[in-house]
Amino acid sequence: MCLVAFSWQSHPEFPIIISANRDEFFNRPTEKIHQWESGFYGGKDLRSGGTWLGFHPNGRWSLLTNYRDFIHQREPTISRGKLVQNFLESQIDPYDYLKEIEQNKTLYDGFNLLVSDGNRLFYYSNFGESIKKIQPGIYGLSNGLIDAPWPKSILAKMQLEQLITREFDANSLLGILKSTETAEPETLPYTGVARDLELALSSQLIRIDENYGTVSSTALLQHKSGLTKLKERTFDWDYHRFADREFQFQLQKPIGQK
């Protein structure tokens, strides 16, 4: 993913609310969200393997965004998508999992990673300082650290905050994070790409050219009863042409039960 707004244990009815955009090359081979043989729901990167987000009926979930820094580039040996897949296919405690990743952080290109067992949520970036336990609240995350004041992350957080004060559903979650306005030049981060490209990447809905842009959006609503609704919307170059996929499952254990 490249832009995420999420609410964690801050809404009285829905402990998890997520709206996210995935930016990628349109010709990159990808399998849409489906249930993997190991049980979790997520898309699949058919080039390097793994996934960018996934949700398991056992309550575990994870997602990642790329951390953009072309100044301090790494030489990765493992696809970042494996970070999500390996967590979801394990039973390891989320904090212990991130401790293992922290020991091997140079094996991956830059990432922001969220992992949860359904009761606790942790964040780690291999460009950050340490593992963080996420407290109840509403957050925006893009290609900087989770607390970086990127304009589109700030806007994403505000959009979600406003949306969930009224009646909403998966469709309305898919409707946010779609601003095509670019940020003011003085507010742009410096990530090592040309300034005109940095400006183009500062909008929420990205269309660089006919090759790269926002290829899909995902919405997740998890009710306190454990009923979980997941919806994916995929786009081609014409943003107004899209296809939806929707899934629903019940958690295998009540929320709050360890």
Read off the pLDDT of residues 158-184 as tens digits, 9 standing for 90 and up. 999 999 999 999 999 999 999 999 999
For 62-110, write each residue's pLDDT tens digit: 999 999 999 988 889 999 999 999 999 999 999 999 999 999 999 999 9
pLDDT band at 254 (very low <50, low <70, confident <90, very high): low
Predicted local confidence at residue 119, as pLDDT? 96
Place of tokens 């955009």: 21
DSSP 103: H
CATH 1.10.260.40 fits 3-250, yes or no: no
pLDDT at residue 127 in the model: 96
Q: Where are the domains of the chain?
A: 3-250
Rounded Cα gap, residues 196 and 185, in angstroms? 9
User: What is the CA angle 29-34-35, rounded to 5?
Assistant: 130
pLDDT in tens, 191-221: 999 999 999 999 999 999 889 999 999 999 9
The pLDDT of residue 1 is above 80: no
Strand partners, 212: 25
